[in-house]
Amino acid sequence: QVQMVESGGGLVQAGESLRLSCKVSGRAFSTSSMGWFRQAPGKEREFVAATDSTGYRRTLADAVKGRFSISRDNRDNTVFLQMNNLTPEDTALYFCALRRRSFPLAQMWTSYDAWGQGTQVTVSS
Q: Would you give per-residue pLDDT tens digits along the chain (125 residues)?
A: 899 999 999 999 999 999 999 999 988 899 999 999 999 999 999 999 999 999 999 999 999 999 999 999 999 999 999 999 999 999 999 999 999 999 899 999 999 999 999 999 999 99
Cα 54 off chain centre by? 16
- What per-residue confidence (pLDDT) applies to 27? 87
CB 73 within 8 A of CB 21: no
- What per-residue confidence (pLDDT) applies to 74? 95
SS3 88: helix
SS3 87: coil
- Name every residue whose Cβ is closer than 8 Å to that of residue 19 and which is 6 or more positions away in sequence: 8, 80, 81, 82, 83
- What per-residue confidence (pLDDT) applies to 77? 97
